[in-house]
Amino acid sequence: THHACADAAEVLEQANSFAARLPLLLEQSQVPREHVQYDHIGRPTTLKQIQQLHRHDAFFTSLTGSLTSIAVATLGEPCRLDNVQYFNKPPTSAYPDGEASRPTPPHQDGYYWMHDAGLTMWMALDPADEDNGCLRYVAGSSHGPIRPHDFSGQSAYQPLPTAYLTLPTARLAACTTHCTHRSPRPW
């Protein structure tokens, strides 16, 4: 399920503003380079991820209480916020000819965040649909164990039933850290 978020337009505006200021923040060492990932270094239009936004921007710091409250209400147990992350799938036009954003392979966030119990929340900053790389969830995976992950290029999850999570702008979705999900290349 997904829920409407209060002040979603402001979240969108602040995320875009932070991304626009990012080159200067990196130059001034206000954001550690290891918290930022581009598909092509030196090509700002290929910005893929910003980690720890709540540590780098007062607006995102102000969201931590609300996000934690949603997690507590959803999981029914005490929670702490680990990361407010900007995750972007730039359109093909952001890349040199013939290139595109890399797909995100099937994975479980609990493997990388090293949490058995947890919740990942995602707000769509643009409409997300099957054509532009919306998330695909493996049906029933949230009830299974956290599996070992590797970079073999093969996926044991491909033949399993997949649910597409399409979202309009500013909708918030959540899944447990056990839920296997992926995203193909956009456009």
Q: 157 by DSSP, 3-state: which?
A: coil
**Torsion region of 52: left, alpha or beta (phi above 0 gives left; psi -120 to 50 gives alpha):** left
Q: Which residue has the higher pLDDT, 179 or 99?
A: 179
Q: How buried is residue 12: exposed, middle or buried, by Cβ count under 10 Å (0-12/13-18/19+)?
A: middle
The tally of domains found in the chain comes to 1
Render pLDDT for 57-90 as a digit per residue (tens, 0 to 9): 999 999 999 999 999 999 999 998 999 998 887 7
pLDDT tens column, 107-151: 888 888 777 778 888 888 888 888 777 888 888 888 888 888 776
Handedness of CA 122, 125, 127, 130 (dihedral sign): negative
Please tell me the predicted confidence (pLDDT) of residue 4: 44
Question: CB–CB of 60/69 below 8 Å?
Answer: no
Global pTM value: 0.80
| CATH number of the domain bearing residue 39 | 2.60.120.620
Structure tokens at 23: 């080159």
Structural domain containing residue 32:
2-183
Average pLDDT over residues 23-28: 94
**What local confidence, expressed as pLDDT, does residue 2 receive?**
44
Which of 76, 58, 52, 79 shows the shortest CA–CA distance to 68? 79
Q: Supply the pLDDT for residue 153.
A: 56
The H-or-E segment that residue 56 falls in is helix 53-56
pLDDT digits (tens, 9 = 90+) for 83-98: 999 888 777 778 888 7
